[in-house]
Amino acid sequence: MTVAPFHLAIPVWNLELCRTFYRDVLGCDEGRHSDHWVDFNFFGHQLVIHFKPKEDETDLHVNKVDGKQVPVPHFGVILPWHDFETFSEQLKHQNIDFIIEPYIRFEGQIGEQATMFFYDPSGNALEFKAFKDTSQIFAK
Alpha-carbon distance 95 to 109, whole Å? 31
SS3 18: helix
What architecture does CATH give domain 61-136?
A: Roll (3.10)
- Work out the average pLDDT over 91-103: 96
DSSP notation for 23-92: IIIS-PEEEEE-SSEEEEEETTEEEEEEE-PPPPP-PPEEEEETTEEEEES-EEEEPPHHHHHHHHHHHH
Domain segments of the chain as ranges: 7-51, 61-136
Q: Is the pLDDT at 58 greater than 70, yes or no?
A: no
pLDDT the model gives residue 1: 63
Partners of residue 51 on adjacent β-strands: 12
What is the average pLDDT value for the chain, to the nearest integer?
Answer: 94
CATH level 2 (architecture), domain 7-51: Roll (3.10)
7-51 matches 61-136 in fold: yes
